[in-house]
Amino acid sequence: MGHKYTVKMRVLLLNAPCRFPIDEKTERFVVRGGIRWPFSIVKPKDRVQVSMFPFYLGYSATLLEKENFDVRVIDAIPLNMSYGDFYKEVGKRSPDLVVSECSTISIYNDLEIARRIKELTNSRICLVGLHVSSLPEEILKENDFVDYICTGEYELTVLELCKKLRDKKPLDDVLGLAYREGKKIRINPRRPPIEPLDRLPFPARHLFPIDTKCDMDAYFDLWCEKRPALQMHTSRGCPYGCNFCAWTQVMYGGRGYRMFSPDYVIREMKHLISEYGAKEIYFDDDDFTINKQHVMQICDRIKNEGIRIPWSCMGDVIATDEEMIRAMASAGCIGLKFGVESADEALIRKIGKPISLEKVVKVAEWCKKYKLRTHATFTFGLLGETKASIEKTIKFAMNLDVDSVQFSITTPFPGTRFYDDAKQYISEKDWSKYDGCQRSVVSYPNLSAGEIEEAFHRACLMWSKKCLKNPSWVKKNVLLAYRSNGLKGVLSGARKAAKILRK
C-alpha cells in the first residue's frame, strides 16, 4: 500500500521595507512592526539603529508552527533590506498565504508591496496592523489584490484563518476577519482580547529577523545599555483613556488590562538568557507599572530565582510609588520610561490621562534616589493645545530631572477618539504624512500645523543644548553609546552633538 504525502500550507509573515529617500546619503526609514507608534526616522544607509521585535508576528509564528504549518519570516526592517532583495526572498519562499504588517504612514508602500507580491507569487494576501484594522472595508474595496484583513489583536485570527483555508472551510465564523466573498465585503464581529495571556506560547524568535538566520541582536532600542538586549511583554493593554492612543482603542478595542503570570514571565526571562544569550531585557509593555501587586511579584520572583540581569521598562507615573521603584531597583531594574504628554493639567484631564505634575516630579526623584535612568515623553498638538500650553510643557520638560526626554507631535490615527474629535482640524489627507513623530496633520484656529512643528523642533534643540552643556550627562551618554554601538556609536553621537551646538 502506497504512502500518502501531504504538502504543508506555506505561510509567510512579513514586516516589509519602507524607505523614503531624502538625498544620496540619507533616507526616511519607517519603523513599523513591533512599535506602538509607527514613525519614520532619518538614517544613513546602514543598519537601522532602532528596531523593536514584532511581537504579534512572533506569537503568530509560534501558533502556526504548533499547528504544523510551514512558517517563513522576513523582517526587512532590522535587515535593512532593499526592495529588490526583499522581493527575491519572498519569491524563494513561494508562499500560499502572505501575512503582512501595515501602518498608517506606510500604507501606500504596504499596498504596493502587497500588489507586487500577488503578481510575483499569486499567493493570497492578508494584511494586519493598526491602519487596516481601522479601515478594513475601505482597504478591501479599493484594493482587489487584498484577500483578507485580520483586525486588532490578530494572532488567533491569523491562526484560525490559516486552518480554515487549509481545511477548505467557510470563513463566516472567524472572529476579527474581514474578507471578500465574491463581490461582497464581509466584516466579521471583533474577536475578544486573548485571555488568559498565558495561553500564548513564547514568540518564535528562532525565525527572526529571517527564517534562514536567527539574530536577536538585530533588535535594539537605543535606551538599552548592553547587547543583546532582548524585548518581552509582561502584560497587554492599559486602563487609562488617552484619546490619541491607537494601540488600546484599535488593537485591543478598549481599556482592558491583561497580565502574563509571574511564572510565565520568569520562564521567558530564563529562556531569553539561556537560548539567546540576553545580557539585558526590556519589558516593552503598554504599561508595566499599572498593577503594583503584579510588579512586586515579578520582582520577588526575579530575586528568588537568582536572575541577575539588568532590565528596564515602559511604565507610568500614575500607579507608580516609591515602594514599587525600590523593589524594581533591588530586582535589577535600571530604567523607567513614562509618558507625561503635557504640562497643562486641564489639557491632560481633557485627553483622559489621570496624572498630576506633582507626581511626575516625585517619580523622577524616586528613580534618581534608587539609581534608575529615566525617560519622559511629551507631545504637542493635542486637542485644545495652545501656544501657552506648549510653552508651559517646554518649560516643565527643561526643569524636570530626568536623563532623557522625547518630544513628538500628536497624530490623529484612524480609529481613535482623537481622530473623530479633530476631524474638522485635520489639514492633511495624505496618510504618508501621519508619521506620529515630527509632522503635524492638524491645524487649529489658534495654533497652526507650522507652529506646532516649530515648537517641536525648538523643544528638541533646547533639550539637546541643555544636556550637551552638562559634563556629567555627556560622560554618561558617551559610555552608553560605546556600550551599545562601540566606537561607531561614540563618533555618531559626537557628529550629532557638533551639529546641534552650531545651531
Higher pLDDT, 491 or 211: 211
Q: Rounded to an integer, what is the distance from CA 93 to the centroid of its chain?
A: 27
d(CA 21, CA 27): 4
Task: Tell me which of 278 and 484 has the higher pLDDT.
Answer: 278
> Residue 388 falls within a domain, yes or no?
yes
59 has a pLDDT exceeding 50: yes
pLDDT of 288 over the 70 cut: yes
Same domain, 408 and 304: yes
Is residue 261 one of the residues assigned to a domain?
yes
pLDDT beyond 60 at 1: no
Residue 467 confidence (pLDDT): 81
Are 293 and 435 in the same domain?
yes
**Residue 502, pLDDT above cutoff 90:** no
Sheet containing 404-409: give its strands across: 229-232, 280-283, 311-315, 333-341, 373-380, 404-409
Between 7 and 371, the more confident residue is 371
The cell for 445 is 484656529
Q: Span 380-409, mean pLDDT?
A: 96
Let me know whether 500 and 442 are in one domain. Answer: no
**CATH for 290:** 3.20.20.70
209 occurs within a structural domain: no
In terms of domains, do 130 and 227 share one? Answer: no
Asked whether residue 291 falls in the same domain as residue 416, the answer is yes
pLDDT band at 42 (very low <50, low <70, confident <90, very high): low
Region 95-102 average pLDDT? 97
Residue 212 in any domain: the answer is no
Residues 169 and 262 reside in one and the same domain? no
Residue 351 has pLDDT above 60, yes or no: yes
pTM of the model: 0.93
Q: What's the confidence (pLDDT) of residue 32?
A: 81
Does 420 lie in the same domain as 494?
A: no
Last residue of a domain, one of 164, 187, 210: 187
Domains in the chain, number = 3
Q: What ranges in 122-244 are assigned the alpha helix state H?
A: 130-134, 136-142, 155-167
**Average pLDDT of span 388-398:** 97
Same domain for 477 and 406, yes or no, is no
Domain that holds residue 493: 472-503
Domain assignment present for 213: no
- The reply to whether 414 falls in a domain is yes
**Same domain, residue pair 226 and 137:** no
pLDDT surpassing 80 at residue 254: yes
Same domain, 227 and 252: yes
Question: How many residues belong to the chain?
Answer: 503
Is residue 499's pLDDT more than 70?
no
C-alpha Rg value of the chain to the nearest Å = 23
C-alpha cell at 327: 523593589
Mean pLDDT value across the chain = 91
301 and 348, same domain (yes or no): yes
Is 498 a domain residue? yes
> In this prediction, what percent of the chain has a pLDDT beyond 70?
90
- Is residue 280's pLDDT more than 70? yes
